[in-house]
Amino acid sequence: MSTQQPTHFINQYTNNITILQQQMFANLRNAVDTETVNGEFAFFDQVAATSMSEITTRHGDTELTDTIHRRRRVGMQDFGVADMIDNADKVRTLNDPTNPYVRQFASAAGRQTDDLIIAAFDATVSTGKTGTGSDAFDTGTYQIAAGGTNLTTDKLRTARKILEAAENPEDDSDNQWYVVCSANQRAALLADSEYQNSDFNSVKALVDGNVDDWLGFKFLKSERLSLSTNDRSCWAWRKASMKLAIGADPTGFIDVIPTKNHSTQVRYAMTQGAVRMDQVGVVEIICDETA
C-alpha cells in the first residue's frame, strides 16, 4: 500500500447542528394572568372588600360607603438577543446556523419571561395613583420557613391553609392554584412517605416519577428559582394573583444587513413586565435542599 494513502483519509462531519440541553419554553407563562399593554408603564386598578351596615331607622338617609380603590404599576422592560452570520462563514461550513440560532433565541426569550415572573413573586410593588407608593412582600404571614426540611406534604398543607384563609377562590382556570419548584424538591416530595401512600396519591405518579397535581396544586418545574446557600425559594400562588404585562410578544427577525457585507442578522426581541397583583394569593415556601 502506498505510503501516500493517508492523504486520502477523510473526516466526517454531521450535517445538522445539535442544540444542547436547556429550558426550551417559558414554564410559567400559562400559569399567570396575561394582559397586552402599551406604554412605558402599565397600571392595574383594583377594588378591595367592603362591608354592609345595619339599617336601624325607617325611611332614613341612605348610608354611603367609600369603596377602597387600589392601583398597581408595572414597568415595561425591553429584551433582545442577536448574532451575525457572515456569508463567507456559510461557504466554509457544512451547516447553516440560522435556524438553530432562531430556536436558541426563542428559548432564551422563554427563560427571560420566567425570570421576570419569578422576580415579581416577592418584589416590592409600586402602588397608588402614580405608582409612588409601595407594597413589600409580607414575609411574616406569607412565607413558610425552611425549618431544616425540603419540600414536604406538611409545607404544602400549610401553603394551602394560608391561601384558603385569605379566601382565594379556586373555582375556574383563572383561579387555578400552582406550585413551582426545582427537580430537587420534586425528588424530595416523591420520597415523602405521605406522598407515597396510596391512600393519598395515585400509583401512576410514583411509577412515572412525575409530580403533577397534589393537594389542589398544579406543579411546575423550574431550575431558575432563587437559591440562597442551601435554601431554595419555591412558590405557591393563585393564577390571577400574578400578572404578566406584554408590550410585545417574543418576535424573531432574520435580516440581511448591507452595511455588514450583507451578512445575515438573527435577532429576537420582546417587551414585558411582571407584577404581583395581591399579597394574599402568593406564598413563599423555602426548602432546604440538603435535607
pLDDT of residue 88: 64
The answer for residues whose C-beta is within 8 angstroms of residue 82's C-beta and 6 or more apart is 105, 265, 266, 267, 268
* Backbone dihedral angles phi then psi of residue 236, each to the nearest 5 degrees: -120, 135
Report whether 245 contacts 74 (CB < 8 A): yes
Alpha carbons 181 and 233: distance in angstroms, whole number: 8
Average pLDDT of 30-54? 90
pLDDT in tens, 239-270: 999 999 999 999 988 888 999 888 888 899 99
Domain 29-47+69-288 matching CATH 3.90.1690: the answer reads yes
Alpha carbons 138 and 128: distance in angstroms, whole number: 18
pLDDT in tens, 268-282: 999 999 999 999 999
Q: Which of 205-214, 226-235, 244-253 has the highest mean pLDDT?
A: 226-235
DSSP classification of residue 215: T
pLDDT of residue 5: 44
Which stretches within the chain are classed as H helix?
87-92, 98-121, 153-165, 183-191, 193-196, 203-208
Average pLDDT of 151-178? 95
Q: What is the DSSP string of 108-119?
A: HHHHHHHHHHHH
Alpha carbons 194 and 3: distance in angstroms, whole number: 71
pLDDT of residue 4: 44
User: Distances in Å between the alpha carbon of 3 and those of 9, 11, 174?
Assistant: 12, 19, 75
Residue 199 CB neighbour total at 10 angstroms: 5
Cell numbers linked to 188 = 424530595
Coil, strand or helix at 153: helix
The answer for residues whose C-beta is within 8 angstroms of residue 37's C-beta and 6 or more apart is 76, 245, 246, 247, 273
Note the pTM of the prediction, 2 decimals. 0.85
Find cell 501516500 and name the residue.
4
pLDDT in tens, 59-105: 888 888 888 888 999 999 999 999 888 876 665 554 566 788 888 88
pLDDT of residue 140: 97
Instruction: Look at residue 146 and tell me whether its pLDDT is greater than 90.
Output: yes
